[in-house]
Amino acid sequence: MLAVKTLRSNLTIFRRAIWLMGNQFEISIVANDSMWAEERIAGAISEINRVEKLLSTFGDDSKVNEINRNAGIKPVKVDGEIFRLIDRSLSISQLTYGAFDITYFSPDTQSAEGKTAPVSTSYSNYQNVILDQAAQTVFLKNKGMRISFAANSKGYAADRAKYILQMQGVSSGVINAGGDLLTWGTQPNDEPWTIATADADQHSHPFARLNISNMCVATAVNIDKFAPVNKKQMANVSAKKGFPVSEIVSVSIISPTAELSDAFSAPILTIGVNAGLYLINQLNQIACIIIDDHDRIYTSRSINMAD
C-alpha cells in the first residue's frame, strides 16, 4: 500500500496495483486511515475476481460456457446479472451497426457428418442471439456460435469494483483498469480528477487537460494499420484514387461507466472519423476525442477540455 500526496483534513490517496483479469489494475481511494483503505481496496479486488469467474468460459459451472455449448440446441437460463450484461451488449451492437459484437464463430465446431462447419457471418452475428426476458434465457441460434465478454468484461469489473467501494463508504477514488480510468468524487484538495490527453505517438506532449470526475475514459489505439517510417505514421493509400486516406490512430471515449467506454472505443476505430463522430453526437452522456494519422484532433460536441 502506497500513500502519497497528504493534504488538508488528513486525506490521502491510498493506492494498490495488482494484476487482475490479464490486466494491470491500480485502485486508488481517498481516505484518512490506511487500514480502513486497505480493507476497502481488498473488497474491490474480491469483486473483480468474482466478475472474472462469472464471465469466464472455463469450468463446468460457467454459465457462459453453458450458453456456448448449447448453441443451436436450446436456450439456457441465466441469472439476472449475466442476462442484463448480454442485453446491454446487444444494444451497443445495434448502436454501432455490429462493429461491437460479443459473438464469434468457433472453427472447431463440426457438423452432424463430422465435417468442420463452414465459416458464415450468421455464426458471429449479434442478431442471432435470442433473449427471453420472461424466462430469463439466452439462446444462440446457430451451432458454432459463441459469445465472449473479452471486449467489455474489464470495464464491467471496474464498474462493479467502484460500486462496492462506494457502498463501503469510499466517496472518492480512481480505478485504472489497464489504462481505462474510472473516477468518482474529487481529489483530497477538492479539485476534480483530470488527465492530460495526448497523441498516442507523442505521450510527452499533451494537448489538453480533460476533467474526468465521475466519468470513465477508455482509449483504443490502432497499431495494425500503420507502419512507422522515419518516426512518422504512413497512412493507407486509396487503391482507386491513389492518395492517402485518413485513418483513426486513437480514440478516447468518455462516458459514465467503464463498461460503456470500453465497448465503444474499439468500434469507433473501425467505422471512421465522420461516422464515429456522428454516432457519438447522437448519444447522451458520451463523448469522444479522435486523432487521425495526420495528427488532426476531432472532438464530439459534448467534449469539455481545458488547454
Whether residues 104 and 204 fall in one domain: no
Most confident of 8-12, 207-211, 223-227: 8-12
CB-CB contact of 21 with 52 (8 Å):
yes
- pLDDT at position 144 is 93
142 and 205 assigned to the same domain: no
Q: What angle do helix axes 258-271 and 273-281 make, rounded to 10 degrees?
A: 140
272 by Cβ neighbours in 10 Å (0-12 / 13-18 / 19+) ranks as: middle
Total tally of structural domains belonging to the chain: 2
Where residue 246 sits, what CATH number does that domain have?
A: 3.10.520.10
Same domain for 122 and 198?
A: no
- Report yes or no on 143 lying in a domain: yes
- Give per-residue pLDDT as tens, 18-55: 999 999 999 999 999 999 999 999 999 999 999 999 99
Give the pLDDT confidence of 187-204 residue by residue, as tens digits.
999 999 987 655 555 555
pTM higher than the cut 0.85: no
Q: Which cell numbers hold the place of 54?
A: 462469472
Q: Residues 224, 292: one domain?
A: yes
Q: In 145-185, which ranges are E strands? A: 145-147, 173-177, 180-184
Residue at 164 is within a domain: no
- Which structural domain, as residue segments, surrounds residue 292? 192-306
Please tell me whether residues 206 and 268 are part of one structural domain: yes
Domain match, 139 and 196 both: no
User: What is the pLDDT averaged over residues 76-105?
Assistant: 95
253 found inside a domain = yes
- Same domain for 124 and 228, yes or no, is no
Q: What is the CATH number of the domain that holds 104?
A: 1.10.3980.10
Flag whether 43 is in a domain: no
